[in-house]
Chain A
Amino acid sequence: MKKYLIWLALTQKRLLKKFSYIAIMLSLPLLMLAMRNYSAEHRSMMRVALLCDGTPDELVSSIIGELSQKKGVLEYVPCDSFGEAKELLRRENVDAIWVFPGNLRERLAYSVETGMIDAVVKIVWKEQSVALELSKEQLCNAIYPAFSYEVYKDFIHNDLLIKDVSEDELKTSYEEMLIGNNLFEMAYLDGEQVEDGSYILAPMRGMMALWLVLCGMAANLFFLVDEKNGIFDRLLPGQREMAAWGMQGCVMVDAVLVLMISYRMAGIFTSFHKEFLYLLLFSLCTMNFCTILRFLLRKVEIFGFFVPVLSVLILVLSPVFLKIPGLGVIKWIFPTYFYLNALHNPVCALFMLVYFALSAAGIFLLFRSHTFNSGFMWYHGN
């Protein structure tokens, strides 16, 4: 046992002596920090050019002013002329143009008075899409408060025929009844509230989970290269397996540490005990998954060739960018699927335990089969 621990320490030293290994490990948290800082400033997915046709009234100025300051899924770019906005659209610097009339309040009042909703704002875009339909809703949302007030005012004056109510009284009654809080509460499956964040960082946890799996695969490749070079020739099969696990363990310890720091840098760290426990389970499942791959693929070159295949499959089948419906059992092959869903669904953490147990059983069977075959061939060879 003592020798094994010394060997583990030396393996870790061997890895840490390589500048490139340390550089790669350190680059991940720095990359996450850079992404976080950048995403804090830039959160928009679409850009909309705003302009006014004619001299803007106070409503248009107020809407354009408010929207220009807003930071969200849409970013607003005030423009001075339609030509300028159209050029931005042509060069795809903006996704849509909103053209407000100069007399917006008057036009809204007229719409309400006649009872016929008139198209008061012009939208120009290249091609319809769900995201642009959402932007149309945002535009209606921007005009709606003023429109709602006009409807309310018109109803009192012209429907209820209460003419002796002052503008101040109308405004005060309306504003005092206006409740500013959001009626919706965004939550995860476990009931935790959704934190504020940028879409740029949305796939980062998934990418880093994939990175951890790659660390496991790389560690196994490392072992296979050493095995091919005869470093473990004097060891019994069981001892060789311990060596393989030791190598994996050394790389995984570094990787888990780096991941936790990266999560913190990216601002997606939840709580220490949760992240540590889930990463521990995930790394154990990953080690089993990579070990099974090593038993099945055996050769260094073949294992190396499968690394990109598995990377793509993990990217697509695990909820890194999208959650694809269907393909249930195939998705379960990869430990990343359970880990990424476990964050706010503790049941998936239990599934990781089941995955670990089943994969451990699989490794045991493969190991026995492999040692039996090796012993059979050695016996008959001799």
Chain B
Amino acid sequence: MKYTLKFLRVQFQRIQRILAKLLAVSFVSCLCVTTVFVYFIQNSALLEGKKNYRVGIVGNTGDSYLGFGIQAVQTLDDSRFMVDFEEMDEDEARRQFIRGNLTGYVIIPDGLVDSFVYGRNDKTITYVVSSGQRGVTSILMEELAEIVSTLITHFQAAVFGMQRILLNHDRVEILDEATDRLNVRFISYVLNRTDLCEVEETGVSDGIDVLSYYTCSLFVLILTLMGMNYSVCLVGRDAVVTKVFDAKGLCVPVQVLCEYLAYVFMNCCALSVFLVLFGGLVGSGTWKLPEWGRDYIGDMFRFFLNYIPVIFLISAAQFLFYEFARDVVSGILLQFLMGMAMCYLAGCFYPSDLLPAGINLAGRFLPAGMGMHYLKAVVSDGSTDAKNLLVMVLYCAGLLAAACLVRTSKMGRGEKT
């Protein structure tokens, strides 16, 4: 017992040597991250899922049909609540698009309307979606483009079909008038197409607000990324040292437990800076979760308290990953790869509901996924879920047991730990 406590004290003394630098760097890193996050929240309605996409329109829209059509869409159509259209020239559109001010822009070729009117459909509207890899937004805009295509092609089929019937039945004299009347009828139906459905909203019951969701994911992401900090301290020790301690009566599980506790303490110190910054933002009213009531400071401290089991769990996973690494390079890359994969599957980047069911299920069983699920439950219910907590404790114990096994096997092979 005496040796165990001495060993534990030594681990904490090791941490003490780098603690000041760690806190300083944590402060800088958390300041950067929270500044960007706050900028993100304040400058974008994206987190509320109600962002209007800005799309540029390039080309000659002076034609009566097209200009009228665009104006009608901008003022009358329901899509004005989703998409803002702005007319501009191509250079301006490119500039704005590269800067990220436009989701995309549409190039209308000359003679497009004639191509539609005469049924040739030999000109296409080019929609510029990205300068790099296409993202989620461009995928959604593609769906919108398909919808518009369907509207136009069926509209055309009806008008031209009607004209053919008139020609076949020798009613050519009313062709123009009939075409105009049918056009007007269709335009009014197209603009009111969403009246074909009625919507019933049940309200958010089991889920949490998008801001709360991404707050939980930020807490998990920061904790996961912190794991990369300690590669230089935790990787590359000699297995001989482990053997010596083992010979002195400090078995591998005790060594692992003591080092793990020191590691958790290190993580907690690093994260404390983030929590202080977060607390400051909550106190100033900049960052408040909708699920929190009037006593939001109390809710925030309850959230912090419930964050501690998540720190223990993810730290155990990081500690296990370090057991596999042999050098600094492997340590950092392994922490990054495993951490990012865990966070992706756990739904830290995309809401887990958007991910396929299989990936969603896999993510739930990973430490980051379990942490996310736990924090989400804390936010939505406001209380600790004892069952989840117990599962997390057992999971943590399992990860540490795996770390012990890895270290024992490396000790047997005489490798570096």
Contact = CB atoms under 8 A, between A and B. Distances in A.
A218 B327 CA distance: 10
18 contacts: A95-B353, A124-B199, A127-B204, A130-B52, A131-B49, A131-B140, A144-B193, A152-B182, A162-B171, A176-B161, A217-B332, A222-B329, A302-B21, A304-B229, A307-B228, A307-B229, A308-B226, A312-B36
A306 interface: yes
Interface of A: 15, 18-21, 24, 27-28, 31, 38-39, 41-42, 44-46, 72-74, 89-93, 95, 98, 111, 117-131, 133-134, 136-141, 143-145, 147-149, 151-152, 155-156, 159-160, 162, 164-165, 169-170, 173-190, 194, 197, 199-200, 202-207, 211, 214-215, 217-219, 221-222, 225, 251, 268, 299-302, 304-309, 311-313, 316-317, 319, 321-328, 340-345, 348
Contact of B225 (A98, A211, A312, A342): A312
B131 A344 contact: yes
A186 B152 CA distance: 17
Interface of B: 18, 21-22, 25-26, 28-29, 32-33, 36-37, 39-40, 43-44, 46, 49-53, 78-79, 81-82, 94, 97-101, 119, 121, 124-140, 142-158, 160-162, 164-166, 168-169, 171, 174, 178, 181-182, 185-186, 189, 192-207, 221-222, 225-233, 236, 324-330, 332-334, 336-337, 340-341, 344, 349-350, 353-359
Contact of B161 (A21, A177, A211): A177
Given A18-B326, A129-B49, A144 B140 contact: no
Of A21, A137, A316, most buried by chain B (CB within 10 Å of CB) is A137
Contact of B134 (A91, A194, A301): A194
B326 A139 contact: no
A174 B164 CA distance: 9
A8 B79 CA distance: 60
Contacts of A122: 197-200
Nearest to A309: B29
The majority secondary structure among interface residues of chain A is helix
Given A141-B150, A186-B138, A221-B232, A306 B143 contact: no
A312 B217 CA distance: 13
B43 A345 contact: no
Given A160-B174, A202-B134, A313-B32, A305 B25 contact: yes
A179 B186 contact: no
Contacts of A111: 196
A222 B327 contact: yes
B154 A178 contact: yes
A165 B32 CA distance: 72
B201 A143 contact: no
B333 A24 contact: yes
B197 A123 contact: yes
Nearest to B105: A189
Contacts of B158: 148-149, 151-152, 155, 174
Contacts of A194: 129-130, 134, 138, 142
Contacts of B354: 45-46, 199
A127 B161 contact: no
Nearest to B150: A141
A249 B25 CA distance: 28
A144 B150 CA distance: 8
Contact of A218 (B81, B193, B329): B329
Contact of A117 (B195, B337, B344): B195
A298 to B, nearest CB: 12
Contacts of A165: 165, 169
B211 to A, nearest CB: 13
Contacts of B50: 128-130
Contacts of A38: 356, 358-359
B210 to A, nearest CB: 8
Given A144-B154, A183-B153, A185-B126, A311 B225 contact: yes
A79 B124 CA distance: 38
Nearest to B204: A127
A18 B230 CA distance: 20
10 interchain residue pairs of minimum CB distance: A309-B29, A42-B356, A129-B49, A305-B25, A308-B225, A119-B198, A152-B158, A345-B131, A184-B145, A177-B160
Given A177-B160, A305-B26, A121 B196 contact: yes
Task: Kindly name the residue among B28, B158, B226 whose own CB sees the greatest number of chain A CB atoms within 10 A.
Answer: B158
Contact of A125 (B201, B232, B328): B201
Contacts of B326: 18-21
Contacts of B138: 186, 194
A214 B336 contact: yes
A91 B162 CA distance: 48
Given A184-B124, A221-B231, A309 B32 contact: yes
